[in-house]
Amino acid sequence: MFLDVENLNVTFKTRRGLVSAVRDVSFTVEKGETLGIVGESGSGKSVSSYAIMRILDRNGRIANGRVSFDGMDLTAFSSREMRELRGREISMVFQNPRAALNPIRKVGHQIEDVLRRHARATKYTARKEAIKALEAVRISDPEKRYDAYPFELSGGMCQRIVIAIALACDPRLLIADEPTTGLDVTTQKVVMDLLAELTTRRGMSSILITHDLGLAAEYCDRIVVMKDGEIVEQGKPDALFARPANVYTRRLISATPRPGAEIGDLVDPPVASPPRPELGAPLLQVKKLCKVFGHGDDAVTAVDDISFDIREGETLGLVGESGCGKSTTSSMIMRLMDPTSGEILLDGKPMTDVPAAKFAREPRRASLQMVFQDATDSINPRFTARQAIADPIRRLTDESPKGRVEELATQVGLPLTLLDRFPHQLSGGQKARVGIARALASRPKLLILDEPTAALDVSIQAVVLNLLAELRASLGVSYLFVSHDLHVVRLLCDRIIVMRKGRIVEEGVTASIMDNPTDDYTKTLLAATPMAPSAERDGADTAMQVERAIAE
Amino acid sequence: MALAENTNADKGQRGFGGHVLYVLSENPITAVAFGLFALIVIVAILGPLITPYDPLESNAARALQPPNADHWFGTDSVGRDVFSRVIIATRLDMMISVAAVALSFVVGSIVGSIAGYWGGWMDAVTGRFVDTIMAFPLFVLAMGIVAAMGNTVENIIYATAIINLPFYARVARAEVRIRREAGFAQAARLAGNTDIQVLALHIFPNALPPMMVQISLNMGWAILNAAGLSFIGLGVRPPTAEWGIMVAEGANFVVSGEWWLAFFPGLALMIAVFAFNLLGDGLRDIVDPRQRT
Amino acid sequence: MNPRTKLILFRVLQAIPALAGVILVSFILTRMLPGDPAAYFAGPAATPESIAEIRAAMGLDRSLPVQFLHYVLDLFSGDLGNSLSTGQPVLEELARRLPASLELTFTALLLSCGIALPLGIAAAVNQGSWIDHVCRAVVTAGVSLPTFFTGIVLVYVFYYLLGWAPSPLGRLDFVYLSPPDVTGFYVIDALLDGDMETAWGAARQLILPATTLALFTLAPLARMARASMLQALSSDYIRTARAAGLREGQVIFGYAFQNAMLPVVTTLGMVFSFMLGANVLVEKVFAWPGIGSYAVEALVVSDYAAVQGFVLAMAILFVLLNLVIDILYTVVDPRTREG
């Protein structure tokens, strides 16, 4: 056993007393092994790793338990001894890479600091060693990047720098805490592959902390599942996915979108998937839509000549990574923004005759509504749920708010007692329901769903997706589902369009895009999205394990 | 921490009054500030009714008496009771600062909100205007304005209002800009609110908590400003009782040991400013709904 | 031209609209007064003839844009008008008195930064300790202190009661002769002259007024230092640095402190604004012969040209100070170098 965590208990002192964040957690990591710690928010997965590194917040402490690393008892180490250890024997990589770097110090110097601290380089050799570290993480043009500041680099490059800092002194254990959250899917794959290769080549052990079960399954030798500060199950990915022993694990696995699963299969126990509505005449027609920001040399074309249709009752998926123009497209269709050129037709009538600034008073405002990504941001903090849902009813319809609000709440499964709460008193799933209820208040014909489940835990996401499917079946409303997650899109959408740099690169029926993509970018996107194992042994997984065995 | 589906399900909802009491009980310093503030307001309102002596009545025989049983704060160079004058001055100083702050808050928030929401040339023009004010050391600008417009109390109010305007304009602009593209602002537009409705009913009420802190801190500063201007002879004239001018008159006597003429008005000034500064934090806790459990 | 020089030049250019605005506002204050501006400038004791003379001299019969042009031209040739009480050009008087104010302000600034910054940083690094409590008490109390009041209290305690400080009557007690003029700062000039006694005499006079002024700016500086240090210490990059095992010293002073100082530099602009205003009050209390007391004396006798000259001079000084801060910030923060 290389790393042995025994009965770890971590408590935090809060205003409401002592809170137990990690309870009796025990796991091990063998030499050269990659362990995945999987859990939703609040499961204690990050806190456990902070406890191993002894970098807990001021008000947190290890109440109980032992952490031994290569025979040394880390829990008994002094601060000084831990500081010697960190960076040299055990390193950590965090999420949000640009924020993880000192913004006013050159990245090369930041690597040097670590090298010199652990006596791996002197003042004279530091620069050379730092450049070697940059080369190890495959940064292009390392000599030039050495002098760069974090704000000059992309998210993916910043993460490579963070990895370079972590691996500079050849540690034997690497802990990666959600290292790819916030990164584009394609960048995510690159970073994970880099980490996997480096740890294998150097014979390092590593711990991958993530909420993404698919990611853990693809890159880890063993998985530990945590919930509410406790471990509920451990095991190898294939065994875990094929025969989960614990109820929670089963729920998590069900909720992870995977090949062969329908929407109804995401919840545990599985339900029948709601039927898909019949398709009617074209409801929304977008023709040659363009949006250019700025003028002259600084002009940026966010949306470049795109055209597509959505029929009544249809759900169209709009897929792309950040910067592809999907948000701008949504804004224009919602008439929050005016296009530079092109047409948007609803029921055959042009929508662009009234400018965005005056659209609020248009009767057609009621037909187009949106569900936002981050429900925390999209509900007025000073409104109760009831007031938030009542606002569009009052302004866009002639109905009396009271009855209608309660009708909508029931439709989205929001308990009526929660209606008088403020957003900060509601959970993520509850806020999502409020957002959906509000969007449906004016009985829209078209609903744009802008990454509605991206900020939610995967089990809540499953519930919300089912809700969306039920609503579409009962109300016959069309959806434009915007997302970066192809697996989620596959579950809900009839057709998919893929956007990149403002243009549509591919479009078609869901099944054909997912199984037989023609465009290179679509293929890259598909390959990059981590795949949860299905019941049968996945060929790709086996190949990875063989590779690892060869490297040892 | 864990996101249970039933967050705070067991805690009842508090009304507004209950929330105020909750904030006060959690934070004793805020309670003290509120208490002091209430005291100052009461003294200002009651003013002439609670002064033991006529603040303007001079009595040469009793000049320069140190604090004693008859005159708690002593008497000044012409025999007026310092305690009465300090009490009366409360009303004048409060009136000046409240008027000045109210004026700058209203004008500043409107200007700043418009600049923050619509941007463009409105932002550029108002930005220029605010920057020009800020290009002056503010107290010096107030001096210049009062000297130019005439040495009256009204002009002290206008001058103080003008130099405080940039703070409100800047805070309002920043807070509105942050929220302009927030989800709830877009949702409000989708719900049929016109731009003005979005700004006034949705964005601005959320921008209010940080502005509340500003108001309270500014009240303190406005009082100091007004007192400072009267200290150097602007605005208020003898024999009016005002804290700044009383300190100025009393300053001449400190070197000969008669400390009470300047000390008590100065102390009153300090307490008032102190109370307003502490109040700012408490107000923010009350107004920000996120503090409601 | 390398990008840094370009950026500095850009900042200098940005100061020009500020100067223009300041001059315009000064013009408005001097000319667009209710009543007869000429009477203001002529003073309360003027005869109708002298008022008419001044009106002609000021060109008040011309149109406003022409007046403004003359105003600006006069400004550039150094003509701020003449003082009523002394008859001397305002600019000369201001120039003569400026070093006294600068000596006071810089000494106060040094004192203030020297205490406030270490205090704020120590409070942030040792949260909850006694230093933190002291810092918070200082900040809360400090923002409430009226400058003129603290000055008077200090005079009472240290001069009247304890007799430690000299009598608050200006820069130098009459037993000393002012040192030969090199910088205009008495303490420095005396030291340069080798005259230790005079240097000490000047320093003694400087202590109380500088302390009063420093107390005023202590609170906002300490508050900003503490707040920005706290924010820096809780940043993600500090977590990375600690996770990489860097020594606490390097983490705090190398990484956190340098980041924390950036917002403090921007606060300095605000602090200067307060300081230049408080300067006027402190100079009055301690009879310090600087430009602040010049303005106060001018106000008393309604010497209008002198007051306006003072306001404009202070404003120009402030714009230049802000320019220096802007340039300093540009040099220190690499993120601004790209413009």
Has residue A535 got a pLDDT over 60? Answer: no
Nearest residue, CB atoms, B131 vs list C18, C147, C307: C18
Task: Return the percentage of chain C with pLDDT > 90, whole number.
Answer: 18
Chain A adjacent subunits, 3+ CB pairs under 8 A: B, C
Q: How far apart are CA B271 and CA C314, in angstroms?
A: 31
Q: How far apart are CA C112 and CA C108, in angstroms?
A: 6
The answer to whether position B59 is within a domain reads no
The answer to whether position B204 is within a domain reads yes
Q: Is any Cβ of chain A less than 8 angstroms from the Cβ of B292?
A: yes
Q: Do the chains contact at B251 and C285, CB–CB below 8 Å?
A: yes
Q: Do the chains contact at C236 and A99, CB–CB below 8 Å?
A: yes
Domain assignment of residue B90, given as a range: 21-51+71-291
Q: Do the chains contact at C335 and A113, CB–CB below 8 Å?
A: no
Q: Choosing among B32, B125, B143, which should be mutated to test the C contact, i.e. which has the most C CBs within 10 A?
A: B143
Nearest residue in chain C measured CA to CA from A92:
C243
- From-to residues of CATH 3.40.50.300 in chain A: 3-255, 313-335+353-518
**CB-CB contact of A494 with A279 (8 Å):** yes
**What's residue B261's pLDDT?**
87
Both tokens of C139, joined, read 């900040």
**What's residue B11's pLDDT?**
40
Nearest residue, CB atoms, A42 vs list B2, B187, B191: B2
The answer to whether position B2 is within a domain reads no
Average pLDDT score over chain B: 84
Residues in Cβ contact with A318 at an 8 Å cutoff, skipping those fewer than 6 apart: A326, A329, A330, A480, A481, A482, A483, A496, A497, A499
Nearest residue, CB atoms, C243 vs list A91, A105, A118: A91
**Chain A residues within 8 A of B191 when measuring between CB atoms:** 391-392, 395-396, 438, 441-442
Q: Do the chains contact at C335 and A104, CB–CB below 8 Å?
A: yes
Has residue B1 got a pLDDT over 50? Answer: no
DSSP state letter for C243: H
Cis status, amide bond into B28, omega within 30 of 0: no
Q: How far apart are CA A248 and CA A256, in angstroms?
A: 12
Nearest residue in chain C measured CA to CA from B139:
C277
Q: Report in angstroms the alpha-carbon separations of B5 from A435, B10, B72, B130.
A: 16, 12, 62, 48
pLDDT in tens, A425-475: 898 889 999 999 999 999 999 999 998 888 888 888 899 999 999 999 999
Q: How far apart are CA C312 and CA C27, in angstroms?
A: 9
Lowest mean pLDDT among A256-265, A306-315, B146-155: A256-265
**CB-CB contact of A120 with A169 (8 Å):** yes
C residues 280-339 lying closer than 8 A (beta carbon) to A: 332-335
Q: Do the chains contact at A87 and C248, CB–CB below 8 Å?
A: no
**Chain C residues within 8 A of B155 when measuring between CB atoms:** none
Higher confidence at residue A455 or residue C249? C249
**What's residue B285's pLDDT?**
64
Query: Looking at this protein, which amino acid is placed at residue B32?
Result: V
Topology (CATH level 3) of domain A313-335+353-518:
Rossmann fold (3.40.50)
Task: Return the percentage of chain A with pLDDT > 70, whole number.
Answer: 96
Q: At how many degrees (to 10) do helices C147-154 and B260-287 cross?
A: 140
Q: Do the chains contact at C259 and A53, CB–CB below 8 Å?
A: no
Has residue A406 got a pLDDT over 50? Answer: yes
**Secondary structure of residue A22 in the 3-state scheme:** strand
Lowest mean pLDDT among A255-264, C36-45, C179-188: C36-45
Pairs of CB atoms within 8 A across B/C: 150
**Secondary structure of residue A290 in the 3-state scheme:** strand
Has residue A544 got a pLDDT over 50? Answer: no
**Chain C residues within 8 A of A54 when measuring between CB atoms:** none
pLDDT in tens, A59-92: 888 998 999 998 899 989 998 999 999 989 999 9
Q: Is C49 exposed, middle or buried (0-12, 13-18, 19+ CB in 10 A)?
A: exposed
Q: How far apart are CA B25 and CA A397, in angstroms?
A: 44
Q: Do the chains contact at A99 and C235, CB–CB below 8 Å?
A: yes
A interface with C, Cβ–Cβ below 8 Å: 53, 55, 58, 82-88, 91-92, 94, 96, 99-105, 113-114, 117-118, 149, 151, 162, 165-166
**What's residue A538's pLDDT?**
41
Has residue A338 got a pLDDT over 90? Answer: yes
**What's residue C32's pLDDT?**
63
**Chain C residues within 8 A of A117 when measuring between CB atoms:** 244-247, 250
Residues in Cβ contact with A325 at an 8 Å cutoff, skipping those fewer than 6 apart: A291, A302, A303, A304, A306, A499, A501, A502, A503
Q: Report in angstroms the alpha-carbon separations of A440 from A476, A480, C154.
A: 12, 14, 69
Å from B217 to nearest chain C CA? 9
- pLDDT band for B2, please (50, 70, 90 cuts): very low
Has residue B169 got a pLDDT over 80? Answer: yes
Q: How far apart are CA C286 and CA C284, in angstroms?
A: 6
The answer to whether position B6 is within a domain reads no
Has residue B3 got a pLDDT over 70? Answer: no
Has residue B50 got a pLDDT over 70? Answer: yes
Task: Indicate the class that CATH gives domain A3-255.
Answer: alpha beta
**What's residue A49's pLDDT?**
92
**Secondary structure of residue A487 in the 3-state scheme:** helix
DSSP state letter for A412: T
Has residue A329 got a pLDDT over 70? Answer: yes
CA A423 to chain centre: 22
**Chain C residues within 8 A of A86 when measuring between CB atoms:** 242-245
> What's the CATH code, domain C90-300?
1.10.3720.10
Average pLDDT score over chain C: 85
Most distant CA pair in chain A, distance: 77
Both tokens of B30, joined, read 């805020």
Q: How far apart are CA B101 and CA B99, in angstroms?
A: 6
User: How large is the average pLDDT for residues A239-256?
Assistant: 86
Q: Is A316 exposed, middle or buried (0-12, 13-18, 19+ CB in 10 A)?
A: buried
pTM above 0.95, yes or no: no
Q: How far apart are CA A354 and CA A101, in angstroms?
A: 47
DSSP state letter for B200: I
**Chain A residues within 8 A of C255 when measuring between CB atoms:** 102, 105
Nearest residue, CB atoms, B138 vs list C18, C25, C277: C277
Å from A453 to nearest chain C CA? 26
Q: How far apart are CA C331 and CA A140, in angstroms?
A: 29
Domain boundaries, chain C: 90-300
**What's residue A207's pLDDT?**
95
Residues in Cβ contact with A176 at an 8 Å cutoff, skipping those fewer than 6 apart: A92, A93, A195, A206, A207, A208, A209
Question: Considering only CA atoms, which of B135, A122, B242 is closest in space to residue C321?
Answer: B135
Please give the angle made by the CA atoms of B205, B211 and B215, to the nearest 5 degrees. Answer: 130
Q: Is any Cβ of chain A less than 8 angstroms from the Cβ of B196?
A: no
pLDDT in tens, A26-51: 999 999 999 999 998 888 999 999 99
Q: Specify the residue for token string 């052990």.
A: A205
C residues 199-238 lying closer than 8 A (beta carbon) to A: 235-237
**Chain A residues within 8 A of C247 when measuring between CB atoms:** 83, 117
The answer to whether position B66 is within a domain reads no
Beta strands in A213-340 (DSSP E): 222-227, 230-235, 282-293, 300-311, 315-319
- pLDDT band for A477, please (50, 70, 90 cuts): very high
Higher confidence at residue A62 or residue A552? A62
Average pLDDT score over chain A: 89
Q: Do the chains contact at B148 and C315, CB–CB below 8 Å?
A: no
Q: Is A493 exposed, middle or buried (0-12, 13-18, 19+ CB in 10 A)?
A: buried
Q: How far apart are CA B62 and CA B279, in angstroms?
A: 39
Helices (H), A168-301: 185-202, 213-219, 237-242, 247-255
Has residue A194 got a pLDDT over 50? Answer: yes
**Chain C residues within 8 A of B233 when measuring between CB atoms:** 296, 299-300
Residue-wise over A320-354: b if at least 16 C-beta within 10 A, else e?
Answer: bbeebbbbbbbbbbbbbbebeebebbbeeeebbeb
CATH number of the domain residue B253 falls in = 1.10.3720.10
Q: Report in angstroms the alpha-carbon separations of C84 from A17, C56, C103, C308.
A: 71, 17, 27, 12
Query: Looking at this protein, which amino acid is placed at residue C97?
Result: R
Nearest residue, CB atoms, B4 vs list A361, A420, A427: A427
Helices (H) and strands (E) in chain C, counts: 14, 0
Write out the H or E segment, with its range, that includes residue A27.
Answer: strand A17-29
Residues in Cβ contact with B154 at an 8 Å cutoff, skipping those fewer than 6 apart: none
Has residue C97 got a pLDDT over 80? Answer: yes
Q: Do the chains contact at A392 and B3, CB–CB below 8 Å?
A: no
**What's residue B12's pLDDT?**
43
Q: Do the chains contact at C245 and A149, CB–CB below 8 Å?
A: no
Q: Is any Cβ of chain A less than 8 angstroms from the Cβ of B291?
A: no
pLDDT in tens, B251-275: 888 888 888 888 999 999 999 998 8
**What's residue A546's pLDDT?**
52
- pLDDT band for B26, please (50, 70, 90 cuts): low
Cis status, amide bond into A269, omega within 30 of 0: yes
Question: Considering only CA atoms, which of B266, B263, B278, B212 is closest in space to residue B37?
Answer: B278
Nearest residue in chain A measured CA to CA from B118:
A357
* ipTM over the 0.85 cut-off: yes
**What's residue C127's pLDDT?**
84
Task: Return the percentage of chain B with pLDDT > 70, whole number.
Answer: 87
**CB-CB contact of A506 with A522 (8 Å):** yes
**Secondary structure of residue B110 in the 3-state scheme:** helix
**Chain A residues within 8 A of B187 when measuring between CB atoms:** 370, 372, 378-380, 388, 435, 438
Å from A510 to nearest chain C CA? 40
Lowest mean pLDDT among A176-190, A216-230, B210-224, C144-158: B210-224
**Chain C residues within 8 A of B147 when measuring between CB atoms:** 29, 299, 304, 307-308, 311
Q: Do the chains contact at B187 and A42, CB–CB below 8 Å?
A: no
Q: Is C192 exposed, middle or buried (0-12, 13-18, 19+ CB in 10 A)?
A: middle
Helices (H), A232-337: 237-242, 247-255, 326-333
Has residue B108 got a pLDDT over 70? Answer: yes
Has residue A159 got a pLDDT over 50? Answer: yes
Chain B adjacent subunits, 3+ CB pairs under 8 A: A, C
Q: Do the chains contact at C243 and A53, CB–CB below 8 Å?
A: yes
Higher confidence at residue A322 or residue A518? A518
Q: How far apart are CA C235 and CA A272, in angstroms?
A: 47
**Chain B residues within 8 A of A382 when measuring between CB atoms:** 205-206, 289
Q: How far apart are CA B168 and CA C122, in angstroms?
A: 32
Å from A265 to nearest chain B CA? 21
**Chain A residues within 8 A of C262 when measuring between CB atoms:** 104
Please give the angle made by the CA atoms of A115, A119 and A123, to the nearest 5 degrees. Answer: 70
Both tokens of A56, joined, read 């807990």
Question: Considering only CA atoms, which of A429, B194, A54 is closest in space to residue A418?
Answer: A429
User: How large is the average pLDDT for residues A110-121?
Assistant: 92
**Chain C residues within 8 A of A94 when measuring between CB atoms:** 236, 239-240, 243
- pLDDT band for A291, please (50, 70, 90 cuts): very high
Both tokens of A323, joined, read 């910067």
Q: How far apart are CA A219 and CA A538, in angstroms?
A: 13
Nearest residue, CB atoms, A360 vs list B194, B205, B290: B194
Q: Do the chains contact at B138 and C147, CB–CB below 8 Å?
A: no
Higher confidence at residue C304 or residue A294? A294
**What's residue C198's pLDDT?**
81
Q: Is any Cβ of chain A less than 8 angstroms from the Cβ of C245?
A: yes
Tally of structural domains, chain B: 1
Dihedral, B207, B209, B212, B217 alpha carbons, nearest 10: -110
Has residue C269 got a pLDDT over 70? Answer: yes
Q: Do the chains contact at A104 and C258, CB–CB below 8 Å?
A: yes
Has residue B231 got a pLDDT over 80? Answer: yes
Has residue C164 got a pLDDT over 50? Answer: yes
Q: Choosing among A104, A115, A117, which should be mutated to test the C contact, i.e. which has the most C CBs within 10 A?
A: A104
User: How large is the average pLDDT for residues B27-53?
Assistant: 85
Residues in Cβ contact with A381 at an 8 Å cutoff, skipping those fewer than 6 apart: A422, A423, A424, B184, B206, B289, B290
Q: Report in angstroms the alpha-carbon separations of A251 from A248, A397, A463.
A: 5, 40, 11
Q: Is C143 exposed, middle or buried (0-12, 13-18, 19+ CB in 10 A)?
A: buried
